[in-house]
A and B are shown apart, each in its own frame.
Chain A
Amino acid sequence: MPLSSVFSIAKSSLFAHQQALAVTSANLANANNPAYSRQVTIFGTVAPDHRGSYSFGTGVAVQDVVRVRNSVTDNQIRANNHNYYDSEKRSTVLSQIESLFSEPSEYGMSSLLTNFFNSWDELALDPRSSSLRTSVVQSAQLLSEKVNSIYNGISQTKLDVFDEANDIADKINTIVEQLNTVNEQIYEASVVGNYANDLIDNRDALLEELSEYVNINVTIDENDVANVSIGGVFAVDGLHFKQFKIDKDGDSLSLVTEDDGAKATLSGGSMNGLLSLYNTELPQQLDTLDELVVTLMENVNAIHSKGFSITDPVETGIDFFTGYEAGKLEINEEILNDPYYLAISEDGTEGNNNIALELAELKNSELLNGKTLGENYSEYISDIANEINLHQQQAETYQLVLSQLEQTKLEYSGVSTDEEMINVMKYQSSYDAAAKLITVADELLQTLLTLV
Chain B
Amino acid sequence: MRVPDTLLHKTFMINLNRNKRTLSNIQTQLTTQSRVNKPSDNPLSNSRIMRMQDQLSGIFTYKSNISYAKSNIDDAILSMEGMEAEIQKIQVQMTQLNSAIVNEDLSSFSDSVDASLEILLDLANSDFNGSYNFGGTDSGTKPFYYDRTNNRVEANSEHLGGERIVKISSNIVQQYNITGMELFQSVYSQNGNLDSTLGVGVAQSTSSKVYDSEGNEYTLNLDYSKTADNTYDLEYTILDSDSNIIDNQTVSDLKFNSTTGNLESVDGDSLSQIHIQNTGNNIDFVIDLSELSEKDTTTNLTGSLNQKADIFNTLIALKATLDSGEKPSEDQVEMINDFHQHLLNKLSKSGGVSNKLTAAEEILLNKEFQISSLLSSEKDVDVAQALLDLESAQYTLDISYHISSMILPKSLLDYL
User: A103: which of B4, B50, B130 is its contact (CB, 8 Å)?
Assistant: B50
Asked if B11 CB lies within 8 Å of chain A CBs, one says yes
B62: chain A residues within 8 A (beta carbon): 121
B57: chain A residues within 8 A (beta carbon): 111, 114-115, 118
Is A381 within 8 A of B139, CB to CB?
no
* CB under 8 Å from chain A, chain B span 29-64: 36, 38-40, 43-44, 46-47, 49-51, 53-54, 57-58, 60-62, 64
Is A353 within 8 A of B164, CB to CB?
yes
Asked if A81 CB lies within 8 Å of chain B CBs, one says no
Q: Given A126-B68, A407-B10, is A357 in contact with B165 using a C-beta cutoff of 8 Å? A: yes
User: A411: which of B2, B40, B173 is its contact (CB, 8 Å)?
Assistant: B2
Is B165 within 8 A of A378, CB to CB?
no
B51: chain A residues within 8 A (beta carbon): 374, 378
Instruction: Report A31 CB to chain B, min CB distance, Å.
Output: 6
Asked if A95 CB lies within 8 Å of chain B CBs, one says yes
The CB with the most chain B CB atoms within 10 A, among A104, A126, A357, is that of A104
Give the interface SS of chain A, mostly helix, strand, loop or mixed: helix
B43: chain A residues within 8 A (beta carbon): 381-382, 385-386, 389
Interface flags, B126-154, vs A, CB<8A=1, else 0: 00011100011111110000000000000
Residue of B nearest to A409 (CB): B7
Instruction: Report A261 CB to chain B, min CB distance, Å.
Output: 38
B11: chain A residues within 8 A (beta carbon): 407
Residue of A nearest to B413 (CB): A421
Is A347 within 8 A of B137, CB to CB?
yes
Residue of B nearest to A345 (CB): B137
User: A351: which of B129, B136, B412 is its contact (CB, 8 Å)?
Assistant: B136
Asked if B416 CB lies within 8 Å of chain A CBs, one says yes
Is B162 within 8 A of A352, CB to CB?
yes
Interface pick from A56-64, A412-420, A429-437: A412-420
A346: chain B residues within 8 A (beta carbon): 270
Asked if B3 CB lies within 8 Å of chain A CBs, one says yes
Is B61 within 8 A of A350, CB to CB?
no
Is B50 within 8 A of A422, CB to CB?
no
Instruction: Report A124 CB to chain B, min CB distance, Å.
Output: 7
The CB with the most chain A CB atoms within 10 A, among B38, B44, B68, B131, is that of B38
Asked if B101 CB lies within 8 Å of chain A CBs, one says no
A352: chain B residues within 8 A (beta carbon): 137, 159, 162
Asked if A349 CB lies within 8 Å of chain B CBs, one says yes
A351: chain B residues within 8 A (beta carbon): 131, 135-140, 159, 162, 164
Is B50 within 8 A of A110, CB to CB?
yes
Asked if B411 CB lies within 8 Å of chain A CBs, one says yes
Q: Given A111-B57, A407-B11, is A95 in contact with B159 using a C-beta cutoff of 8 Å? A: no
Asked if A145 CB lies within 8 Å of chain B CBs, one says no
Query: Roughly how many angstroms separate A363 CA and B38 CA in the complex, as a whole number?
Result: 24
* CB under 8 Å from chain A, chain B span 54-81: 54, 57-58, 60-62, 64-65, 68-69
Asked if B6 CB lies within 8 Å of chain A CBs, one says yes
Interface flags, B312-331, vs A, CB<8A=1, else 0: 00000000000000000000
Is B159 within 8 A of A414, CB to CB?
no
Asked if B170 CB lies within 8 Å of chain A CBs, one says yes
A15: chain B residues within 8 A (beta carbon): none
Interface flags, A395-410, vs B, CB<8A=1, else 0: 0000000010011001
Is B61 within 8 A of A122, CB to CB?
yes
B46: chain A residues within 8 A (beta carbon): 103-104, 381-382, 385
Query: Roughly how many angstroms separate A27 CA and B157 CA in the complex, as a whole number?
Result: 101
A385: chain B residues within 8 A (beta carbon): 38-40, 43, 46
Residue of A nearest to B52 (CB): A104
Q: Given A111-B57, A364-B170, is A354 in contact with B165 using a C-beta cutoff of 8 Å? A: yes
Instruction: Report A448 CB to chain B, min CB distance, Å.
Output: 40
Residue of A nearest to B139 (CB): A351
Asked if B1 CB lies within 8 Å of chain A CBs, one says yes
User: A126: which of B129, B167, B413 is its contact (CB, 8 Å)?
Assistant: B129
Asked if A69 CB lies within 8 Å of chain B CBs, one says no
Q: Given A347-B137, A357-B167, A407-B11, is A34 in contact with B6 using a C-beta cutoff of 8 Å? A: yes
Is B159 within 8 A of A411, CB to CB?
no
Interface flags, A372-395, vs B, CB<8A=1, else 0: 001000100110111011001000
Q: Given A104-B53, A389-B43, A414-B6, is A349 in contact with B412 using a C-beta cutoff of 8 Å? A: no
Residue of B nearest to A104 (CB): B49
Is A357 within 8 A of B140, CB to CB?
no
* CB under 8 Å from chain B, chain A span 84-98: 95, 98
Is B6 within 8 A of A122, CB to CB?
no
Is B165 within 8 A of A103, CB to CB?
no
Asked if A99 CB lies within 8 Å of chain B CBs, one says yes
Interface flags, B149-182, vs A, CB<8A=1, else 0: 0000000010100101111001001000000000
Asked if B92 CB lies within 8 Å of chain A CBs, one says no
Is B416 within 8 A of A421, CB to CB?
yes
Asked if B247 CB lies within 8 Å of chain A CBs, one says no
Instruction: Report A116 CB to chain B, min CB distance, Å.
Output: 11
B140: chain A residues within 8 A (beta carbon): 128, 350-351
Asked if B229 CB lies within 8 Å of chain A CBs, one says no
Asked if A360 CB lies within 8 Å of chain B CBs, one says yes
User: B36: which of A104, A115, A422 is its contact (CB, 8 Å)?
Assistant: A104
Is B40 within 8 A of A114, CB to CB?
no
Asked if A314 CB lies within 8 Å of chain B CBs, one says no
Residue of A nearest to B129 (CB): A126
A118: chain B residues within 8 A (beta carbon): 57-58, 60-61
Query: Roughly how many angstroms separate A381 CA and B39 CA in the complex, as a whole number?
Result: 7
Asked if B5 CB lies within 8 Å of chain A CBs, one says yes
Asked if B271 CB lies within 8 Å of chain A CBs, one says yes
Asked if A43 CB lies within 8 Å of chain B CBs, one says no
Is A124 within 8 A of B167, CB to CB?
yes
Binding site for B on A (CB under 8 A): 31-32, 34, 38, 95, 98-99, 101, 103-104, 106, 108, 110-111, 114-115, 118, 121-122, 124-128, 345-347, 349-354, 357, 360, 363-364, 374, 378, 381-382, 384-386, 388-389, 392, 403, 406-407, 410-412, 414-419, 421-422
13 A-B residue contacts at CB 8 Å? A98-B39, A98-B40, A101-B39, A103-B50, A104-B46, A108-B50, A110-B53, A111-B57, A125-B68, A345-B137, A351-B140, A392-B40, A414-B5
Nearest first, the 8 closest Cβ-Cβ pairs linking A and B are: A414-B4, A351-B139, A385-B39, A351-B137, A385-B43, A388-B40, A410-B7, A118-B61
Question: Given contacts A32-B5, A419-B4, could you give 11 more A-B pairs where the C-beta distance is less than 8 Å?
Answer: A95-B40, A103-B46, A114-B53, A115-B57, A118-B57, A350-B139, A357-B173, A385-B46, A403-B10, A416-B3, A417-B413
